[in-house]
Structure 1
């Protein structure tokens, strides 16, 4: 499993995941479960791997220099 999520994309995913997870804490009742969707972008940002990017052939990581 190689990284396919780059730096800026990673920061956006972690921020979006954290914001969505706050809904799970702040809102009572049925709306709080919507916040658990934030686990997906948070996990893909932390692990630097997105399965959807693999299926679509997208890679936002900078290329590694060849030695």
Structure 2
């Protein structure tokens, strides 16, 4: 599975996902589970939607360094 989510994109996903989960807990709503999607895709640096639309935010120079 090739990474298609860049570093800043993954940081933003994890932060926003955490905020969605926190809002779900605060309002006692199951909608907070939606926050798991950006957290997981940010943590593994892969987004199936990006793959579908042939997008990627990975810096090609950073990919070679790994």
Runs (4+) of structure 1 exceeding 3 A deviation are none
How many correspondences in the alignment?
63
1:37 aligns with 2:14: no
Using the size of structure 1 for normalisation, the TM-score is 0.86
1:12 aligns with 2:12: yes
Any stretches of 5+ residues in structure 2 without a counterpart? Answer: none
Larger Rg: 1
Any stretches of 5+ residues in structure 1 without a counterpart? Answer: none
Using the size of structure 2 for normalisation, the TM-score is 0.87
